[in-house]
Amino acid sequence: MNYTVEYFHPRVKAEIENWPDGILADYAKIVELLMEFGPSLRMPHSRPLGNGLFELRPKGREGIGRAFYCYVIKQRIVILHAFIKRTQDTPERELKVARRRMKEVQNG
């Protein structure tokens, strides 16, 4: 595999690990694809949100999850923030958290 996946904070990983089983299983499959294909991974698994921010789009019978991530040097991927979607639109506050964390990661 060409890319490594890290988490912004252990809480982000713990949040994902607490997702319902169906969503978590799809997330695990998508992360494997992300590690293999990196920026070539596209819809329906991944979608660019602009300015270097991307989202993973896992789903299961229990609902839909979202995990925001970015790329950093040396083929590292950082999962910045994750949540279970409750509405059709992605809440702006969730995007703000991801963008703030992405700035932290990119600015060292």
Measure the CA–CA gap between 78 and 81, rounded to whole angstroms: 9
Specify the 3-state DSSP secondary structure of 54.
Answer: strand
Q: Name the β-bridge partners of 82.
A: 67
Closest CA to 55 of 86, 34, 29: 34
Single pTM value for the model: 0.95
Percent of the chain having pLDDT more than 90?
A: 93
More confident residue, 34 or 73: 34
Q: What is the mean pLDDT of residues 70-92?
A: 94
* CATH of residue 49: 3.30.2310.20
pLDDT at 78: 98
pLDDT score, position 1: 59
How many structural domains comprise the chain?
1
Cross-strand bridge partners of residue 67: 56, 82
Structural domain boundaries, residue 75 = 4-106
Cis before residue 91, ω within 30 degrees of 0?
no
* pLDDT tens digits along 27-43: 999 999 999 999 999 99
